[in-house]
Every structure is written in C-alpha cells, then in structure tokens.
Amino acid sequence: MSDSDAGRLPLLLAAAVRLDPADDVAIARTDLPQGSAWLLNSASEQDTRLVIRCLVPGGHKVALTHITAGAPVHRYGHVIGFASQDIEPGDHVHTHNLAALEFARNVPAGLRAQPAGPSGLGAGATFLGYRRPSGRVGTRNYVAVVSTVNCSAHTARQIALHFGPERMSGYTHVDGVVAFTHPYGCPMRHGNPDFVLLQRTLAGIVRHVNVGAALLVGLGCESNQISALMDDYKLGDRTDGAWQPPLRYLVIQEQGGIRKAVRAGIERVEELLLAANDVQRTPQPIGELMLAVQCGGSDSWSGVTANPLVGLVADAVVQQGGTVVLAETPEIYGAEHLLAQRAVGPEVRARLLDKVRWWEEHTRRLGLEIDNNPSPGNRTGGLTTIYEKSLGAIAKGGSTPLVAVYDYAEPVTARGLTFMDSPGYDPVSVTGQMAGGCNLVLFTTGRGSVFGGKPAPAIKVCSNSRTFERMSDDMDFNAGVLAEGADMGAAAADLLNLVLSVASGRPSASEAQGVGEAEFNPWNLGGYL
C-alpha cells in the first residue's frame, strides 16, 4: 500500500475488501453476480482471476481460496467459524457452509496493548458541560421522574408529560423532564439478583451526572420500597462524594390515588426545576467524557468502518484522560481472548473471562446458544457467526489497555478503557452503561437502528452509505465513506467534533425526534442475549 493509501481500507479486489493477509474471505462491496470475474491485484502476489460461482450479496463474504470441510475460516486475521463443507474460490460463504464450532482461545500472559499516549486527536479539545459539585461533568441537565415499580409507571409518565415545551420555556438550563419507567419492582424478594439489578440501575439514574434533580414515584405496597432504595444506595446522602441531585419522592397510595399523586408530583417537579435550572454550561476538557460504546442492527460493514472509527475516537478520549465503557458480553464471545490480553493485570483479565464463562453457563441453563445472538437482520447484512460479529464489535473499544471490569449498572470510577457485563440487547445494555455513569453514547449500526438514549444522548454512526441515506433522519454520522476511500484519520476527527458538539447541547438525531424514554430497560435475568 502506498503512502497515499495510508489510513484507507485495504482493498484487495475491485469489488471486495480483504482485511488481513491471513483472511480466507473478502467482503463484497456490491452484489457480485454469478459468473463475474475479478482480479486479485495484491502487490504481494501475481494477478489471479477469481470467478464468482454464485451470487454474493453486497456485504457478504466471498471465498478467496479452497477451504476444506472442517477447516477454520478467517476474517480480521482470526477464526470466524469452520467450513461445514468444502468451499471453493468464488463461493458465497455464509450460514449454508460456515458453522460456529467451539475452539480453544488462548490468552497470552502480559499486557498486549500500548498504554495511552498522545496521538494529536482531541488534544486540548473542550465541550460545554455541566460541572457538578462532585467534580463529574454532565452533557445534559434533566429532571428525572423515576418509578420504583411498574404500578407507578403511568403516574410517572403523566407527571413528566405535563412539562411540555411551553411549560419548559422559562427553564433555559434544563433539557427536559423525563420519566424512567419499567415493568418490574414487585413481586421481588429484597436482595435477590433481579432486585439488586433493578435497585442499582434506578439508583444510577437518580445519581446520573446528566440528572439535575429527581423525583421517585412509588405505589406504596411494592417490594421495591422507596425507603429501602434510598437507604440501600444512600440516595440524598452527600457525604460519600458522589453526585446527589435534589431529590423528592411521593407514594400514590398515600396521596389518595393517581389523580392526586399526579398533582402532587407536578408541584414537586416545579420545585425541582428551580433547583435544576440554577446551573450553566461551562467549557470542560474532553477527559470529562464517559463514553458508552455500543452497536445494534449490525451488518458486515460494521466491523470494517463504523466500529474501528468509533475505536479511534475512544482512544482519543482515553488519551485525554476520559473513560470508555465497552459492554455486551455475548458480543465479545469468540474475541474475548483479544480483549483479555489487553488487561492491565491478572485480576482484570480473570474478571473479564469469568464474565464470559458465566454467560456460557447462563445460556446452557436457559436452553439458549450464544451463537443465536446474530439476529436475522445481522445475518441478512452478511454476519454469519457470533465469532465474526464479536471480532468486529470489539473494535469499538479501540486499542488502549483494559483497566477495569464492572458488573451491570455498577458505578464506573476508573478512567481509561473499561468493560461492563451486560446482555447484547441494546436497550438493556445501554441502560446499564448509563446507570454506571456514561454521559454520552456512541452507537454504531449497519441495518439501521433507531435507538435513542436518555439521560445520555446517543450518536448513531452508520456503517454504510446506503443505510445512512435511506434513514437520514435517524443517523448522525456516515462511516460508509470509509469503504469508498475516505481517510480514517480525517473521519475520526470529524466524528470527534460531532461528539463534542452533541456533548455541548446539539441535539442528536434521536433527540430531535424525542426518542429516549421508552428505551430505558433495566436487565432482568431472563432469556436476554
């Protein structure tokens, strides 16, 4: 590759992309018709004619060499599965001839990532944020109305709906009143795993740096009592140094029913708005960002364009002293050894691998398979196995060392690249990352997710130009230009500028459409992958 090609994708075929010299497959840039012929024009080998043996849809894999049944198949230079039958050069490689068999994945001892060092990207950059007394910085300033149980969800929504644009016009430093509701809270035994997950998630939202004030709404007879939640997580206690916004609560049964509770809730929120409005955005260093990196509706291009691009931005945030939270444990499966070898020490490495082993047992107990994870849309987009999906997904975490591993919705305190255990189901996973403290979400998609986040805004990075153009109202950034020859470094700078702009208050595409409340979805230990 010449100097002028540096930073661009390694194109092997005129119509396909080969990502590593060890790969047995390339990714079709467009539909490759049966009988069409292409030249392998790599400088390291003589030109070879490749004849397409059957239609290979755009984004799908085409075999570059003969692969014997049972042999491993490589993409990204790593195993993505095993041939379930003989595969010939020019064949379409997908679910009909590629299987996700178990294989050993060794984790070499010792750190295999470079410590964060200056790259120039993001150096000295700032955004306009809300600095809290705890020292942490918010990118939004909401009043949160949080239901402790599903029985109070309607009441919480009615309270929040009262505060439309007209009523909010006088509160110029508040981004809105948001209801956080869910289907849980009763019957549950205090202290059981689902109860702990729910309480930890709700507490994380109440104390979120993007929440300027909060109202808890309960029914009165539920298992998840407001008093227990406040005691268990010291809500309202300002002695531990964590951000504790002004907090009020109400109980529907004590108020005399829904209508009276809504009136009382509106009065409490009006008081909270005065407190929340008493703050302004000020310039803050990029190191105060805590990015949740996430993917949903992925396609085969996600691991080629959008995820590596987000990884560069993640590296820049870490290099400037910030935090990045990678998640979705089932979606690192088959690539966990590559992330584990970046761990800063044996305890972090063991903790990550323990999470993966838990998911193996969890899926066996529920009668599931982790390879069920690539959805029908993922597979239509060219992803065949969970190994292939995971190898592309971990690119969102960039290249810096892994410094800590957290439980779902656990407060993230470390700076640097971290990992949070969560399902791969996007709303549940992002809910945990936000409850852990993430103040902004970078969300990659290829098929076209319409996810939105509150209290942390979600920026959707699209892996291909076709989806970006078709769903332009829902996408924020087109990473598909990388497959068309754009420079990766320049695109990373553009994406980082967008991140800083949204962090400073510019609405993301999902925010502009009011998306984000319904996506709040705490993890319940059911059949999620």
| Complete DSSP assignment for 319-358 | HTT-EEEE--GGGSTTTHHHHHTTBSSHHHHHHHHHHHHH
Beta strands in 8-136 (DSSP E): 11-13, 16-17, 25-28, 37-40, 48-51, 61-63, 72-75, 78-83, 92-93, 98-99, 126-131
- Residue 452, in any domain of the structure: yes
Q: Is residue 117 included in any domain, yes or no?
A: no
- Separation in Å, CA 222 to CA 61, 247, 265, 367, 520: 52, 20, 19, 31, 20
| CATH number for 263 | 3.40.50
Are residues 154 and 85 part of one domain? no
Could you give the CA distance from residue 138 to residue 210 in angstroms, rounded to a whole number?
5
Residues 225 and 289 in one domain: no
* 277 and 304 together in one domain: no
- Same domain? For 337 and 439 the reply is yes
The b-or-e profile of 355-369 (16+ CB within 10 A means b, else e) is bbeebeebbeeeebe
Picking from 251, 281, 311, the residue at the C-terminal end of a domain is: 281
296 with 250, same domain: the answer is no
Give the number of domains in the chain: 3
**Is residue 37 domain-resident?**
yes
Q: Which of 253, 281, 309 is the last residue of a domain?
A: 281
Alpha-carbon gap, residue 445 to 307, rounded angstroms:
9
Residues 288 and 271 in one domain: no
Q: What is the pLDDT along the chain (529 residues), one digit of tens a residue?
A: 334 344 444 444 567 888 999 999 999 999 999 999 887 654 444 556 789 999 999 999 999 999 999 999 999 999 999 999 999 999 999 999 999 999 999 877 777 776 665 568 989 999 999 999 999 999 999 999 999 999 999 999 999 999 999 999 999 999 999 999 999 999 888 889 999 999 999 999 999 999 999 999 999 999 999 999 999 999 988 777 788 999 999 999 999 999 999 999 999 999 999 999 999 999 999 999 999 999 999 999 999 999 999 999 999 999 999 999 999 999 999 999 999 999 999 999 999 999 999 999 999 988 888 876 678 899 999 999 999 999 999 999 999 999 999 999 999 999 999 999 999 999 999 999 999 999 999 999 999 999 999 999 999 999 999 999 999 999 999 999 999 889 999 999 999 999 999 999 999 999 999 999 999 999 999 655 5
Residues 508 and 457: beta-carbon distance below 8 Å: yes
Say yes or no: 388 and 458 in one domain: yes
**Contact residues for 512 (Cβ-Cβ < 8 A; gap 6+):** none
Q: Are residues 249 and 329 in the same domain?
A: no
Tell me: do 307 and 272 sit in the same domain. no
Domain span at residue 25 reads 3-99
- Model pTM greater than 0.85? yes
Say if residue 144 is in the same domain as residue 275.
yes
| Structural domain includes residue 198 | yes
Give the CATH number of the domain where residue 57 resides: 2.30.130.110
- Report the distance separating Cα 430 and Cα 416, nearest Å: 18
Annotate 201-260 with three-state secondary structure: HHHHHHCCCCEEEEEEEECCCCCCCHHHHHHHCCCCCCCCCCCCCCEEEEEHHHHCCHHH
176 within 8 A of 154, measured Cβ to Cβ: no
Residues 158 and 277 in one domain: yes
Q: Is residue 167 part of a domain?
A: yes
Residue 481 in any domain: the answer is: yes
Tell me which residue of 115, 107, 78 sits closest to 340, measured CA to CA. Answer: 107
Domain assignment present for residue 264? The answer is yes
Statement to judge: residues 157 and 81 lie in one domain: no
Is 290 among the domain residues? yes
